[in-house]
Amino acid sequence: MPDAGVIAMTPICPHTLSNRSIIFRDDVRLRVRSRNVDSTLLVAMDGQRNLISCADSPIEITISPLKLPLAQSLDYEHFAVVRTKLHWSGGFIEKK
């Protein structure tokens, strides 16, 4: 749903098919740290430059209190766009 309050954590270039996005509620505080003390942690976020952290410096991720209102046309339908992009067929039948 377009108005769902969530954080999506997605691995970039995963090496196995079992690495998938993980969805969290928007009120969680995620703490990310490297499991290997000899490596650095690289985090990429929407619209931001990459952040590099040492193994002993965890990164905390939360939803920003700042909101960005977006303009959409009055006839915009989110699920019509999803159906088109994913090539889903069929229509919506409203039950009465």
Please provide the average confidence, as pLDDT, over all residues in the chain. 82
Torsion on CA atoms 24, 27, 33, 35, rounded to nearest 10: -40
H helices of 1-96, where? 78-86
pTM score of the predicted model: 0.62
| Contact by Cβ (8 Å): 40, 55 | yes
For 9-33, write each residue's pLDDT tens digit: 888 777 888 888 899 999 999 888 7
Q: pLDDT band for 85, please (50, 70, 90 cuts).
A: very high
- pLDDT above 90 for 64: no
- Domain locations along the chain: 6-64+72-86
